[in-house]
């Protein structure tokens, strides 16, 4: 039987509910998203020299971690290496890395140290299963390399991440889409080359027994994957157009962008409001899922001001209402267009996101519930039973502009 995360590690991950995703790399220099190499058909030989322009002089690991803390986020997941093959840390397995650029520093080491200084925040890593620069992955016959050489590199980098940066929150994998010829250069991959997941996941769970493994591309999670991931959508919704509607019994995580791109894109100004982001956080928690919200820092190493502002607005809401998110599990009161719920044992939290009338109607509220009060300040609210329907009345002056949370006891 495949190893899984420890019960303590899984509980920590589920209890902490809200994390920061960070997509950052050479693509930030071009400012056209993390897939620019593929979409614009930039040859590896033409993309590789970007490393000599990488010099994010404004990068400050403590500022990034403090922004996450201000937002109420409890873990960070950063791209240790994206599909373009550039490593954001001082790996011993490649020369294509930050320490061989004008920057010369190891930003992931600095982030790990900053997380250690800020109690309660853990670091996790995104690792690409693809590598558009690695000669063994690209399968150039003249390289004399085989698929096994690429697997040695991939597994070796994951071993480095598991042994050099302390206790991790998670390992997050991306790039397994065997039904799509999206990477037509790789003959091995299109022929069904294996990533040897069982060996990879067992290594992670041995070296990092408390870190969860997430793969965002498997509709049926594989043995050894602890969390089912959903991209740009809530579990089972599939409104993003490329995500599975199939929901496993595993705990879940929703990852999402603040605007429309993961990596920095200089023309993308379609930023979601803080109110909308709080709604996604509440809806994720109500379905038993964490919410991993992405930032794409600039080439200079700064989180966009508008994104930092959105995050801090979420943090302000969480300071008053975090009890309804952290440490909770999926709600048992059915969700509606206007409300969702979370719960902690016999306490239920109703998140009122929209108002369609003067009252909020809830179905199947447990008979044991006798009291309703505003979570943020304890103000009692009127609760009325009408057969199977529970009616809550929330005066206008008590309504939160983002999400009004009512505690039912």
Residues in contact with 297: Cβ distance below 8 Å, sequence separation at least 6, in sequence order? 22, 24, 28, 56, 59, 64, 264, 303, 304
Q: How far apart are the first and last CA of the chain?
A: 41
CATH, domain 331-408, list 3.20.20.105, 2.60.40.1180, 3.40.50.1370, 1.10.4160.10: 2.60.40.1180
Tens digit of each residue's pLDDT, the chain (409 residues): 789 999 999 999 999 999 999 999 999 999 999 999 999 999 999 999 999 999 999 999 999 999 999 999 999 999 999 999 999 999 999 999 999 999 999 999 999 999 999 888 999 999 999 999 999 988 666 678 888 999 999 999 999 999 999 999 999 999 986 444 445 555 555 444 589 999 999 999 999 999 999 998 788 899 999 999 999 988 877 665 555 567 889 999 999 999 999 999 999 999 999 999 999 999 999 999 999 999 999 999 999 999 999 999 999 999 999 999 999 999 999 999 999 999 999 999 999 999 998 899 999 999 999 999 999 999 999 999 998 999 999 999 999 999 999 999 9
Distance of CA 355 to the CA centre of its chain: 29
- 157 and 93 in contact (C-beta within 8 Å)? yes
Domain boundaries, the chain: 7-327, 331-408
Look at residues 276, 215, 212, 244 and name the one whose alpha carbon lies nearest to residue 6: 212
CATH, domain 7-327, list 3.20.20.80, 3.30.465.10, 3.30.70.270, 2.30.30.100: 3.20.20.80
Secondary structure in 3-state letters for 277-312: HHHHHHHHHHCCEEEEEEECCCCCCCCCHHHHHHHH
Output the pTM of the full model: 0.95
262: region left, alpha or beta (phi > 0 left; psi from -120 to 50 alpha): alpha
């Amino acid at each position: 039987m495949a190893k899984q995360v420890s019960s303590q590690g899984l509980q920590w991950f589920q209890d902490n509910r809200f994390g920061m995703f960070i997509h950052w790399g050479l693509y930030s220099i071009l400012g056209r998203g993390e897939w620019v190499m593929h979409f614009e058909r930039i040859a590896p030989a033409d993309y590789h020299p970007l490393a000599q322009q990488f010099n994010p002089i404004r990068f400050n690991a403590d500022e990034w971690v403090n922004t996450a803390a201000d937002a109420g986020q409890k873990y960070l997941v950063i791209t240790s290496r994206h599909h373009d093959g550039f490593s954001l840390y001082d790996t011993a397995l490649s020369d294509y890395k930050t320490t061989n650029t004008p920057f010369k520093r190891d930003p992931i080491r600095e982030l790990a140290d900053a997380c250690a200084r800020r109690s309660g925040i853990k670091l996790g890593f995104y690792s690409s299963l693809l590598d558009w620069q690695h000669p063994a992955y690209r399968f150039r016959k003249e390289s004399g390399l085989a698929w096994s050489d690429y697997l040695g590199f991939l597994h070796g980098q994951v071993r480095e991440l598991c042994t050099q940066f302390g206790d991790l929150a998670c390992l997050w994998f991306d790039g397994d889409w065997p039904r799509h010829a999206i990477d037509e250069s790789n003959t091995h991959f299109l022929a069904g080359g294996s990533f040897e997941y069982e060996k990879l996941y067992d290594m992670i769970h041995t070296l990092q027994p408390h870190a969860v493994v997430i793969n965002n591309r498997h509709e049926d999670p594989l043995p050894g994957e602890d969390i089912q991931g959903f991209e740009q959508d809530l579990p089972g919704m599939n409104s993003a157009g490329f995500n599975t509607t199939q929901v496993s019994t595993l705990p879940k995580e929703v990852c999402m962008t603040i605007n429309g791109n993961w990596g920095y894109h200089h023309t993308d100004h379609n930023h979601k409001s803080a109110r909308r982001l709080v709604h996604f956080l509440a809806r994720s928690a109500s379905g038993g899922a964490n919410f991993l919200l992405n930032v794409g820092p600039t080439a200079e190493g700064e989180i966009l001001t508008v994104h930092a502002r959105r995050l801090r607005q979420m943090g302000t809401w969480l300071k008053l209402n975090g009890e309804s998110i952290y440490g909770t599990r999926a709600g048992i009161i059915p969700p509606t267009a206007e409300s969702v719920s979370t719960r902690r044992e016999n306490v239920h939290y109703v998140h009122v996101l929209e108002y369609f009338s003067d009252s909020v109607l809830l179905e199947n509220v447990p008979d044991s519930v006798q009291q309703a009060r505003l979570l943020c300040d304890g103000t009692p609210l009127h609760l009325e039973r009408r057969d199977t329907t529970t009616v809550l009345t929330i005066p206008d002056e008590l309504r939160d502009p983002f999400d009004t949370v009512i505690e039912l006891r």
